[in-house]
Structure 1
Amino acid sequence: MYIKKILIAASVVGLIVLGGVSIYIYNVIFSPNTAFDTETKSVYVSTGSSLQEVVNQLHPFLKDTDNFITVANKKGYGSNVKAGHFVLKKDMNNNEIINTLRSGNVPIQVSFNNQHRLENLAGRVAEQIEADSLEILRAMISKPFLDSLEVSPLQSLKYYIPNTYEFYWDTSGEEFRNRMVSYYNEFWNENRLEKAEALNLSPQEVMSLAAIVQKETAKVEERPKVAGVYLNRLRRGMKLQADPSVIFAIQNQNQDFETPIKRVLYKDLELDSPYNTYKYKGVPPGLIAMPDVSSINAILNAESHDYLYFAANPENPGYHKFAKTLAQHNRNARAYQNWVNKQKIYR
């Protein structure tokens, strides 16, 4: 009888201990372990991170890091840490957190506007993904890459159409570059290719011309009209005579893209550069900037008119006065030059 009581007591104690252990294990694994009040919290895990580095990053968001580490080790997460952007939800438990960190890499939106150079683009994109600007730039100017596409660095600007794109945060420089080429090829669908062919322009030439339109006017609604002027000049075998191309030629020659040039001087028009459209006919061999979709569409859907000239309109800043004859244009140009002189803009 005495032994029976001991066995019963031992069983009861065992059950109590087992129950306590079970409750503890349950709490460690399945009790909410987040320490933030918002509905979600983004976490960015770098490539090659250790478990401790992840824990250090998660520390502000967890109630109990020790419990998290315990479950992470039990689930083998420490030996298989994944890089990426992960979204934790309020009141997640350790099991859910680790499962999210294992397989919940969430894409992010990467945006950039029209940039002058690949260097500028690399810096802008590096602010949004894991790869740094040097890695991105190296990928974009890689000689094997450029050779495979038969483009120069300036011509390769066409592949980076300003917009918002979906990428994984841990995208490498090469992956970013390759995806942008794919997006470019998708952009140039059958409809756009047909429009370019009807204009007797290649996609490269459309992009180069669009870059000039982009720099000529910030007014999106005016771009098709400006594009129409340039197309009229091309059809007649006239030089484009675009001031932005001269400004780019100066900056490219000096390798100084930071110092602004607000006024083109007569001496600048003699600069010997394939980008100087006052000196050479046709579309420049590369892009002077990255045109956005509105400028590209302005070329492909240019306004049909008889204008051959335009000059900045001092009476309506940001817009231009258009002319069909050189005499009319000279009057418009003189009015603008007088305004510039009054503003004391000499360069």
Structure 2
Amino acid sequence: MKRARGLLLALLVLAATGLLFAWTFLGSATIAKDTNFTIAAGSSVSAVADKLEAEGLITSASGFMLQARIFGSDAPIQAGEFLLKPDMSQGDILVAFQSGDVIRRFITIPEGMPSILVWERLMAEELLSGDVEVPPEGSILPDTYAFERGQSRKSIVEQMQAAMDKALAEEWANRTPRIAVDTMRDALILAAIVEKETGKPEERRMVAGLYSNRVRTGMMLQADPTIIYPITKGKPLGRRIRQSEIAAVNGYNTYTRTGLPEGPITNPGRESIAAVMNPENTNALFMVADGTGGHWFADTLAQHNANVAKWYAIRRERGEM
């Protein structure tokens, strides 16, 4: 009987010891508040454990290592920045590291943002690394992109450019026979003009239809943003366009050249690209602002002149003339 009691006691002690060991692994780590923790590429579990202990996030690097060997999976830990919370156990920490549950941040490129401003936005993001040149105009697809702390600016630009290549190819594959251009490059150039010429999404296909008509008939496009681009590289001009700038002869000014500019004047969004691939079936050749951010469209010069008179009346009423 005594021997049986002794064996039972020994088993209870052993079980308690095992439970205590398991609790140490599964219990809360010493994280006092939400903490960002970064793992460099190529870091070993040992190096990460030492870093956790040094930063006061676990009590023992060697204990963490031992527990990881016994209870952890065989999956490697991932590089990146992780958010560690006070309620996380050491097991939770290891799982987060192995699953690659990294903190993701976002950078947004609005539709119609020219490449010089894309470059400025990337260079201003302190959590990115490395230098990058201003991307070629029209090579960036406006969108929101996720990134991690320390990621290179070059890799973000490559991601944005790959997205543009994909979107352009997809829209080109779905183009209508009524499209006014023969190449994806020209479609991109025309989409950039559409992007800059209207602030109303519902007008995109109509504006695309108008400029498509001008391309087909050989009319000058006479798009004001093409005057501004050589002056500011797409940044806001901040004043009215001068007569000397309207008369300037260069590769972009569509008031002094027939056909498309020599290159895009901004980074158009996917909707503007789609509008050029499938423009409105219209006879419109002219447009003028209507005072609401949109435009009046006209098929003939006489109609257009009447619309211009209405626009001038609005401007006089506003005290702009």
Tell me the TM-score normalised to structure 2 length.
0.75
Distance across 1 between alignment mates of 2:295 and 2:127 = 43
Q: Does 1:298 align with 2:275?
A: yes
Equivalent of 1:84 in 76, 80, 84: 80
Query: Which amino acid in the other structure matches residue 295 of structure 2?
Result: H
- CA distance 1:54–1:219, change in 2 (3 Å): farther
Superposition pairs for residues 26-37 of structure 1, below 5 Å? Answer: 26-33=22-29
Query: Which amino acid in the other structure matches residue 297 of structure 2?
Result: F
In the TM superposition, residue 217 of structure 1 has moved relative to its aligned partner by 0.9
Distance across 2 between alignment mates of 1:211 and 1:57 = 53
Distance across 1 between alignment mates of 2:127 and 2:65 = 26
Helix, strand or coil for the counterpart of 1:195? coil
In the TM superposition, residue 245 of structure 1 has moved relative to its aligned partner by 1.3
In the TM superposition, residue 111 of structure 1 has moved relative to its aligned partner by 3.7
Match of 2:59 in 1: 67
Q: Does 1:276 align with 2:250?
A: no
Q: Does 1:180 align with 2:129?
A: no
Match of 1:257 in 2: 235
Match of 2:111 in 1: 114
Distance across 2 between alignment mates of 1:128 and 1:36 = 29
Distance across 2 between alignment mates of 1:123 and 1:53 = 38
Equivalent of 2:184 in 203, 221, 228: 203
Helix, strand or coil for the counterpart of 1:310? strand
In the TM superposition, residue 105 of structure 1 has moved relative to its aligned partner by 4.0
Instruction: Give the conservation status (yes or no) of the 8 Å contact 2:181–2:187.
Output: no
Match of 1:308 in 2: 285
Match of 1:94 in 2: 90
Instruction: Give the conservation status (yes or no) of the 8 Å contact 1:88–1:97.
Output: yes
Query: Which amino acid in the other structure matches residue 262 of structure 2?
Result: P
Equivalent of 1:193 in 173, 183, 190: 173
Q: Does 1:45 align with 2:38?
A: yes
Deviation track 1:299-320 (CA, whole Å, cap 9, x = no partner) reads 1111111111000013xx1111
RMSD of aligned alpha carbons: 4.3
Identity of aligned residues (%): 27
Give unmatched runs, 5+ long, in structure 2: 1-5
In the TM superposition, residue 298 of structure 1 has moved relative to its aligned partner by 1.2
Q: Does 1:333 align with 2:311?
A: no
In the TM superposition, residue 226 of structure 1 has moved relative to its aligned partner by 0.9
- CA distance 1:268–1:259, change in 2 (3 Å): closer
Distance across 1 between alignment mates of 2:115 and 2:32 = 39
Match of 1:247 in 2: 228
Q: Does 1:222 align with 2:206?
A: no
Deviates more, 1:24-33 or 1:221-230: 24-33
Distance across 1 between alignment mates of 2:35 and 2:194 = 40
Q: Does 1:267 align with 2:209?
A: no
Distance across 1 between alignment mates of 2:25 and 2:280 = 65
Instruction: Give the conservation status (yes or no) of the 8 Å contact 1:240–1:278.
Output: yes
Match of 1:162 in 2: 142
Helix, strand or coil for the counterpart of 1:66? coil
Give unmatched runs, 5+ long, in structure 1: 1-8, 60-64, 142-152
Instruction: Give the conservation status (yes or no) of the 8 Å contact 2:213–2:283.
Output: yes
Query: Which amino acid in the other structure matches residue 216 of structure 1?
Result: E
Distance across 2 between alignment mates of 1:129 and 1:56 = 27
Helix, strand or coil for the counterpart of 1:311? strand
Equivalent of 1:237 in 205, 211, 218: 218
Distance across 1 between alignment mates of 2:55 and 2:198 = 47
Distance across 1 between alignment mates of 2:191 and 2:259 = 13
In the TM superposition, residue 121 of structure 1 has moved relative to its aligned partner by 1.9
Query: Which amino acid in the other structure matches residue 232 of structure 1?
Result: N
Match of 2:262 in 1: 285
Query: Which amino acid in the other structure matches residue 190 of structure 2?
Result: L
- CA distance 1:115–1:126, change in 2 (3 Å): farther
Equivalent of 2:128 in 122, 128, 131: 131
- CA distance 1:69–1:123, change in 2 (3 Å): farther
Query: Which amino acid in the other structure matches residue 326 of structure 1?
Result: L
- CA distance 1:25–1:194, change in 2 (3 Å): closer
